[in-house]
Structure 1
């Protein structure tokens, strides 16, 4: 099929079959009385060609779509990203520092295993010896890549292979930096941000640089240009950057590399970054948070061929999660907009009831105001979808 004003629209099998049958009847060498009954030579040939041409059209559609950021997938999207100087973030290991108390002089081997209260395993990166004061600190890395290995402070408290010489272990800092392989959806969002601004000292430029760090999900940039402390507690004439996700050292280094001279940073995380001239850049920022959104949705399903209710429910949950991902820290989630997100799913005939909230025990029918520096997240377990009576 040629390109139309609306783009490339592939023909399906039946459209190609009808076109081929019409062409055969119109061919003067064959004649209008051609036998196109089921099982005939010409009908079998037309059906075979129709299947091949329909498949060819789908391939052409994929090639056409690969030219556009909004439609490209996999390696085609990676190649478009390279035009803007960015690449897909690979999966990363979470890391943190353990403080271990025990018998002085006891040697803790490299790759000794400890776990948190969710049975995630972390391994020491080097051999260390407990000091005379009975304590030692050691860097640990997650056993595998993934966001699920990011955990709160004071949760890595268990030995996997127990030894009596180790009396107590904990992580005084949260484990961070763990990330899954970046999805097409997240990479597409970064490409769109890169189209607006390259890495630079502007707010959009700093955000663009931070989003290139594996695991970073959201960035908010707050400038207090007043001569007084603002409502968030930021001192006068300071800049406060909130970052959700990513490894803290990498975040600090990226801010140091991109922030303009003369800007005073503030935040709960304070990290000194050495400069090439021997000076130190005092970087400060804060870690953003997330709020889980719970939902109860009663749906009337329509009859859809070859589609089960479970598949429709999965599509509803996917649509909602993609929609929530589009919000930044502190934004308002509008109750009425969610209906449109659900109705967009094929197989939904009516949304009979919808309640939601940030606490599973207290769901309502009003807008949700995210806290200033929190993003909205959800998961399949938090989205209850049932068939209406």
Structure 2
């Protein structure tokens, strides 16, 4: 019988027939043109031609269907999703290096030239952007501060405070180095799933002067994982520790200057911002404004997973699959969200070959347990796969 006309763009969306339906239609057309006595088996001439035509038509229809779905946030992929995002002014986050302030202590006055590299014990390398000249402090020591940037992009370079402690090329005149505050701004390339979720959220709360519009604008910055604008819209003094009629913006990750500039360009007139960070930036009129905010506390999570496995366990990839699944879930939790231990079990059991599992979590490697991790309005959890231990047949 002929192919149903109820395909293509309909009131229910784009309907695509299956290959079998297209083939049936082509074979019916052959029979109507050449008679009922033709042979349409897969190894006959007519059969081969029918299948070739049906396959080409199916591919064409599938491309038309992809073109239709590429116009929507929920179904677009790859560059089509980028184009949909550009239509609402929200671009995909690309890879970006992390930066940090380092403090260097030297043996007397000393010049450290730009280009010198420093690193963490894990081997994450940062390059000095400008010269540092140490000066004498009231306690008699010689110190200087400088700006470093990771030699490669990626969120992994957003290291905690006091982790950049090594000079790549040791110098006897340099007594110590450290980063008093965490490195920030490091960004991985944003995959389709993450980008799509952000587009859906920002399409509801577009960048603007409202608290949640401010969140929408800030979350576009490289390295920013989440934003929590806490509004005290009451006359109650010190509600959540904030004065009456104020907004306290907590930002997880990101560069201080970038954050301050976004806030000053989107804040409403008369709004009272509070926070321990005070950044002086120019607004659109060229006037200097002082912007207050705080970084959310990023609580590192350590995980130990003990599993008993069976013959379906993959010795090469099983442990890494567990680590990736657990870390991805934890890193997608927003500010203030509780990390429930029970939510991790389906992720672990979702890996093939596991008969039994026991999971322990904690904010310190030496104090793991079975309790949930509860977060305040200014706290969030994060997890590096290096902080996850998988013990095979350890249950």
| TM-score computed with the length of structure 2 as normaliser | 0.78
Matches within 5 A, 1:32-43: 32-43=36-47
Deviation at residue 111 of structure 1 after TM alignment: 0.8
- Write the distance in 1 (CA, Å) between the matches of 2:319 and 2:136: 59
Counterpart position of 1:110: 114
Q: What's 1:372 paired with? A: 377
Checking the alignment, whether the CA contact within 8 Å between 2:265 and 2:283 is kept in structure 1 is no
Q: Greater shift after overlay, 262-271 or 93-102?
A: 262-271
1:330 maps to which residue?
336
The alpha carbon displacement at 1:316 in A equals 9.1
Work out whether residues 293 and 377 of structure 1, in 8 Å CA contact, stay in contact via their aligned partners in 2: no
2:24 paired residue among 18, 29, 44: 18
Summarize the Cα distance change of 1:158–1:255 in structure 2 as closer, same or farther, 3 Å threshold.
Answer: same
1:63 corresponding residue in structure 2? 67
Q: Return the offset for 1:84.
A: 1.5
Going from structure 1 to structure 2, the CA distance change for 1:6 and 1:337 (only over 3 Å counts) comes to farther
Does structure 2 retain, via aligned residues, the 8 Å contact 1:290–1:375? Answer: yes
Partner Cα distance (1:182, 1:66) in 2: 18
More off after superposition, 355-364 vs 74-83: 355-364
Contact 1:103 1:130 in 2 (8 A): no
Q: CA contact under 8 A between 1:240 and 1:286: conserved in structure 2?
A: yes
Determine the C-alpha separation between the residues in 1 that align with 2:18 and 2:391: 34
One of 225, 246, 251 as aligned partner of 2:259: 251
Q: Contact 2:164–2:177 (CA<8 Å) still a contact in 1?
A: yes
User: How many residue pairs align between the two structures?
Assistant: 375
- Superposition map of 1:57-206 within 5 A: 57-131=61-135, 134-206=142-214
Identify which range, 209-218 or 132-141, moves more after superposition.
Answer: 132-141
Q: What SS does the aligned partner of 1:8 have?
A: strand
Q: Distance in 1 between matches of 2:339 and 2:214?
A: 26
Distance 2:385 2:159 in 1: 20
Q: Secondary structure at the match of 1:140?
A: strand
In the alignment, structure 2 segments of 5+ residues that lack a partner are 1-6
How far off its partner does 1:280 sit?
A: 3.7
**Which piece of structure 1 moves more, 313-322 or 287-296?**
313-322
What is the distance in 2 between the residues matched to 1:197 and 1:210?
A: 12
Would you say the 8 A contact 1:20–1:46 is kept in 2? yes
Cα distance change on mapping 1:164 and 1:314 into 2, 3 Å = closer
Map Cα deviations across residues 237-265 of structure 1 (whole Å, 9 max, x no partner): 43211111211221122112222232222
Contact residue 42 and residue 48 of structure 2 kept, 8 A: yes
**Deviation readout 1:199-220 (Å, 9 max, x if unpaired):** 2211121111111211211111
Partner of 1:8: 14
Partner secondary structure for residue 49 of structure 1: helix
Q: Do 1:294 and 1:363's aligned partners in 2 also have CA atoms closer than 8 Å?
A: no
Task: Provide the rounded CA distance (Å) in 2 between the counterparts of 1:138 and 1:273.
Answer: 20
